[in-house]
Each structure stands twice: as C-alpha cells, then as structure tokens.
Amino acid sequence: MLMRKDKSFGRCFQILTEGRVFIRRACFVYDIVIRMRYEGAGMVEKEHLGPLMALTSKTWRQALDQRLRPLGLSQAKWMCLLQLHRHPRLMAQGELAEVMGIEAATLVRLLDRLEADGWILRQMDPEDRRSNHVLMTDRARSLGREVEQVADELRRDLLAGIPSEEVAVTLRVLRQLLDRARMNLQ
C-alpha cells in the first residue's frame, strides 16, 4: 500500500496498488471533519455544504438498504416501490423517473425487472400511447407499507436526540436550497 499526502489541498490519497482503487471520498470527508474541528462546530465552509449533503443522503440510503436487505430487494427496487407507495395514484413512467431522480431509460429496465417479479403492472395511457402508467400489485402495496415502516424507524433512530427546532431549521434551509437550485435549472 502506497500513501501520499497532497499538502496544498490538505487531502490524503491512498492508492491501493493491488486493486488500483483510489479512496478519495473518505479522505475528502476526513478533510471536512478536520476543518470542522478547527473552525468550530457549525462553521463548515460553503464549498463543503453540497458534498456533505450528498454524502449524508447516500449514507442514509445505505443504512436503509442494509435494514431492507432481508426483504430481498435491491436499493433501486425498494426506492421505486417506496415512491410508488408514497404516490398511490396512477403514476406516469416519466413522472416516476423524475421523482426518483433517474433517467427514463434506466427506469424502463428497472420496471421490466419489477414487472417480471410481480411487483408492478404497466398500463398504456389511453390518451397518449407513447406513455405508460405504473401500478403496484397487491403484493407490492403490502411490501410498500413494510418498507415505509422500516424507513420511519430509521428516520426516528437517526433524528433521536436532535432537537425538533434544529430539524425544522434544517428542513427549511434544505427546501430553500432546493427551490433556488430548481430556479437555476431554468
């Protein structure tokens, strides 16, 4: 194992010569933690906010994935079923792709697998034959409730001990950032 430190950016890069894998994300997070320690709690630099939000989201999904593993669903499958469960009305494939944050072509392959496994049904839109609507089967609705319960339990565990006022402020700031980011897309 080879180790070097790039002092100009304060980031370390481990190069695993056998697997030729670069472990940069861990070093980047380490850098954030070190900076927070020196700058005081809550004083994260502006350029670290986006990566920290992304890492938090990813890690939260991984924790939920770990808890849902006994159900035998991949992360992609349970995320899709959870979105369908949270939107009980007929949902167009394009709308589902947008809500999930994935490309329509990626969703088609996922829906093919879910349909083959008996989790969903697709119906052609009678008004637009190019569009399909996605329906959960009874089996999937039952599983959706279970996934929602596990997600709620994880949310309670992760937020335990954090004052509700701080959670409310965090949600308000995240909504503002989301709105502004959406405005910048136009």
31 lies in the same domain as 70: no
**Are 39 and 65 members of one domain?**
no
Same domain? For 126 and 173 the reply is: yes
pLDDT, one tens digit per residue, over 107-160 is 999 999 999 999 999 988 788 777 889 999 988 988 888 888 999 999 999 999
Q: Provide the number of structural domains found in the chain.
A: 2
- 16: containing domain: 1-44
pTM, entire model: 0.62
On whether both 54 and 125 belong to a single domain, the answer is yes
Q: The domain spanning residue 79 has which CATH number?
A: 1.10.10.10
Contact, 113 vs 101, CB < 8 A?
no
Do 124 and 167 fall into the same domain? yes
10 or 74, greater pLDDT? 74
State whether 14 and 55 are in the same domain. no
Residues 35 and 68 placed together within one structural domain of the fold: no
Instruction: Evaluate if residue 60 carries a pLDDT over 60.
Output: yes
The pLDDT value given to residue 11: 33
Q: Are residues 96 and 73 in the same domain?
A: yes
Q: What is the mean pLDDT of the segment spanning 47-63?
A: 88
Mark whether 75 and 153 lie in a shared domain.
yes
114 lies in the same domain as 173: yes
